[in-house]
């Protein structure tokens, strides 16, 4: 059974569940669930994580899920990290589609550390 955030609710902060979540209200913060359904009039500002994310409403942030479904009423501003993606006609996406969800844990982490360290070191040297 899914936890439901009704259209009357506005939540500021992180939302996390070990089960499914149905969002019909507004969330400002990250959402984590097994299955996350974002209703047609719902709005999420933050990152949505889940095994399966269905978006019919609006997300301003990022989606990271194994399976992502964007219905025709979906409005997505931000990147979508996925393994499986379905976009219905009429959906709006302004962001990058990144089909590397399973690989993202090992590859991107070393790159920023390697590139940031020399930049910070040289910037600190140049400033002094």
- Within a domain: residue 111? no
pTM: predicted TM-score of the whole model, two decimal places: 0.77
- Within a domain: residue 94? yes
- Within a domain: residue 21? yes
- Within a domain: residue 123? no
pLDDT in tens, 40-55: 999 999 999 999 999 9
Give percent above pLDDT 70 in the chain: 78
- Beta strand residue intervals within the chain, DSSP E: 3-5, 10-12, 15-16, 21-23, 26-28, 31-32, 35-38, 43-55, 58-70, 75-77, 80-81, 84-87, 92-94, 97-98
1, pLDDT greater than 60: yes
Domain tally, the chain: 1
Residues spanned by the domain of 24: 3-102
- Within a domain: residue 60? yes
- Within a domain: residue 117? no
- Within a domain: residue 113? no
Q: How confident is the model at residue 101 (pLDDT cuts 50, 70, 90)?
A: low
């Amino acid at each position: 059974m899914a936890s439901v955030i009704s259209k009357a609710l506005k939540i500021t902060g992180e939302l996390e569940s070990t089960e499914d979540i149905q969002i019909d209200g507004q969330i400002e913060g990250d959402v984590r669930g097994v299955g996350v359904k974002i209703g047609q009039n719902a709005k999420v500002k933050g990152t949505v994580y889940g095994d399966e994310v269905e978006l019919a409403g609006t997300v301003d942030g990022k989606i990271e899920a194994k399976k992502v479904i964007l219905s025709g009423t979906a409005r997505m501003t931000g990147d979508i990290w996925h393994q499986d993606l379905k976009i219905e006609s009429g959906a709006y996406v302004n962001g990058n589609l990144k089909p590397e969800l399973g690989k993202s844990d090992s590859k991107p982490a070393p790159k920023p550390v390697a590139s940031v360290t020399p930049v910070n070191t040289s910037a600190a040297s140049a400033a002094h």
